[in-house]
Amino acid sequence: MARQLLTSILFVLLSVSSGIATGQESSQGAAEELSSILRSYETYQADFIQIVVGENGSRVQETRGSLKAKRPGLFYWETDAPLSQFIVSDGEKVEVYDPDLEQVTIHKLDDRVQTTPALLLSGEVDNLDETYEVSHRMLAEAAQEFTLVPRGADSLFVSLRLSFYQGELQEMRMEDSLSQISILSFENVALNKAIDKNAFRLEYPEEVDVIRDGV
């Protein structure tokens, strides 16, 4: 159950209380401002702490791990034991490796997955206003938040809040349709540092079960 929750959250990431729009700034203006920040991220690397909070406010789960993202389309996610898991995207497919289960699941990177928050760090961000209603607020001179509410009914999340400090993504906070909140806090962030493409290859033993979902 906990492992399934981790995978579901990653696809919501592969990322609440809503931000408050700045009065005169339209959704399109906020989306363009967010796009400008994210486009400047050629690569993004960070360690993270992920906390999942249930509808009643109780902490469901806490995990730690690391991620790497590189445009266009490359993404790597690793969570630490005891729920060790590796998830890698090459821009066309997503591979999920569960060492404890000795299982790899390969998913096609279809339109639904392409609208998930992880792709904000590695995918196309030029037309965010077509997919999300975007609002923005300044918290301080160097701190700001953007809140994204999906326009489509089939989204994997209800709302997503991105918090930045000095242009650096510090936190993602998501709410799903069951009112469950996932908070990702990033630390040891490295922006636009060189990452070899080999870092986005998933290696696993030949004897593991491989399940192909639409691939």
Give the Cα separation of 53 and 103 in Å (integer): 27
Asked if the bond preceding 205 is cis, omega within 30° of 0, the reply is no
Q: Which of the two residues, 157 and 74, has the higher pLDDT score? A: 74
Domain ranges of the chain: 2-213
From the CA atom positions of the chain, what is the Rg in Å? 17
**Using one digit for the tens of pLDDT, what is the confidence trace for 102-120?**
999 998 876 444 445 566 7
Instruction: Collapse the DSSP code of 166 into the 3-class scheme (helix H, G, I; strand E, B; otherwise coil) and give the result.
Output: coil
pTM of the model: 0.81
Tell me what the pLDDT averaged over the chain comes to: 82
CB count in 10 Å sphere of residue 188:
9
Please list the alpha-helical segments (H only) found in 14-100. 27-39
Determine the CATH number of domain 2-213: 2.50.20.10
